[in-house]
Amino acid sequence: MKTYLLLSSFLLSFRSLLSQPNCNVFLWEGDSAQYQACKLLEDHLSKHYQFSREFHKLLDSAIQICPHFAFAYREKAAPYVKTGNFIEWKKNIDLAVKYDTLSFLPVRASLRYKFFADYLGAIQDIELLEKKIKNDIGYTSNGTYHLTVIKALCYKQIGQVSKAIQILESFVQRKNYMTGQYDYLHLGVMYLNVQNINKAEKYLLLQNKHYEIAESNFYLAQIYKNCGQIDVMNTYKQKAIQLYKKNQRMNDNYNHLIDQMDERQINQL
């Protein structure tokens, strides 16, 4: 839990990097057009509702000043992803990636995975990022997952569970690994999917050790049910119900996470 709290503090800082850029940087680099476009948004963008005509007109004005201002395209893309308009989102986020690849490729990969189930596209983006960045490729745009974890989850979703396990297990065994919120849970469930009960139990117990949630107890209960250990199963099942009611469970404001359970599924064990 301590590791997770430290990670959360880091990710709050990381997310701030994706906010309005420092316009002075463009001025120092001698890019006066990008500086002017940036200042226009810095002074006026927060005044407009993201889904309003005025919001998009302002962004279009910034792009007219500087057609290579990546941040403006990212902002234009944002409302479309929230309304499920993949075509318009993709058109704008592609331009953001074109003009500032390292900043916005992680965003595109994250949202391809999260909102559009474009697992192959997300894998392609992450593998491209791995080629461009020799060190740590970083986290998703909302900070929940490291992009390597997303890569593993994408492989799981396209049916390549063994490859997903290889990627995720190598990641959590790194010397400088910082425990993610749900990493051990996902790895435990992957092992459960391939009937490796010992490894599944190991990682689900590690999830409980670092950040206990209803789902980790649910899957542990499932393991013991399959092994015929009904008393142990009931212990974990009751713990899962208690944690679920306390809202100590997988959660995302926008979508249902992979391996997330609801109370009905827990009660049906």
User: What pLDDT sits at residue 141?
Assistant: 79
- Whether 196 and 219 map to the same domain: the answer is yes
Residue 94 within any structural domain of the chain: yes
User: What pLDDT sits at residue 14?
Assistant: 36
Q: Which two tokens stand for residue 138?
A: 């970083």
Average pLDDT of 38-61? 93
Residue 16 within any structural domain of the chain: no
Residue 156 within any structural domain of the chain: yes
Digit-coded pLDDT (tens) for 208-240: 999 999 999 999 999 999 999 999 999 999 999
- Whether 183 and 155 map to the same domain: the answer is no
Residue 121: Cβ within 10 Å count: 17
Digit-coded pLDDT (tens) for 3-44: 444 344 333 333 334 578 999 999 999 999 999 999 999 999
User: What pLDDT sits at residue 182?
Assistant: 98
249 in Cβ contact with 214 (< 8 Å): yes
Average pLDDT of 138-152? 93
- Whether 88 and 62 map to the same domain: the answer is yes
Average pLDDT of 136-150? 92
User: What pLDDT sits at residue 248?
Assistant: 97
- Whether 260 and 211 map to the same domain: the answer is yes
What domain range includes position 87? 22-99
Residue 164 within any structural domain of the chain: yes
Q: Which two tokens stand for residue 241?
A: 């119900």
User: What is the chain's mean pLDDT, rounded?
Assistant: 92
Residue 14 within any structural domain of the chain: no
What is the number of domains present in the chain? 3
Confidence of residue 82 (pLDDT cuts 50, 70, 90): confident
Confidence of residue 128 (pLDDT cuts 50, 70, 90): very high
- Whether 202 and 170 map to the same domain: the answer is no
- Whether 45 and 83 map to the same domain: the answer is yes
Residue 68 within any structural domain of the chain: yes
Confidence of residue 152 (pLDDT cuts 50, 70, 90): very high
CATH number at residue 201: 1.25.40
Give the torsion sign (CA, 29, 147, 11, 87).
positive
| CB-based burial, 152-184: b 16+ in 10 Å, e otherwise | bbbbbbeebbeebbebbeebbeeeeeebbbbbb
User: What pLDDT sits at residue 51?
Assistant: 87
- Whether 95 and 48 map to the same domain: the answer is yes
User: What pLDDT sits at residue 8?
Assistant: 40
Final residue of a structural domain among 45, 67, 99 = 99
- Whether 192 and 262 map to the same domain: the answer is yes
Element (H, E) at 121: helix 119-132
Strands (E), 96-198: none
Q: Vertex 111, ends 78 and 46: CA angle to 5°?
A: 20
Digit-coded pLDDT (tens) for 167-197: 999 999 999 999 999 999 999 999 999 999 9
User: What pLDDT sits at residue 6?
Assistant: 39
What is the pTM (predicted TM-score) of this model? 0.88
Nearest alpha-carbon partner for 129 in 144, 112, 115, 116? 112
Final residue of a structural domain among 147, 174, 201 = 174
Residue % of the chain over a pLDDT of 70: 93
Confidence of residue 253 (pLDDT cuts 50, 70, 90): confident
Residue 1 within any structural domain of the chain: no
Residue 100: exposure state from Cβ atoms within 10 A (0-12, 13-18, ≥19): middle
Average pLDDT of 40-67? 94
**DSSP tag of 259:** T
| CB-based burial, 204-242: b 16+ in 10 Å, e otherwise | bebbbebbebbbbbbbbbbbbbeeeeeeebeebbebbbe
Residue 59 within any structural domain of the chain: yes
Residue % of the chain over a pLDDT of 90: 86
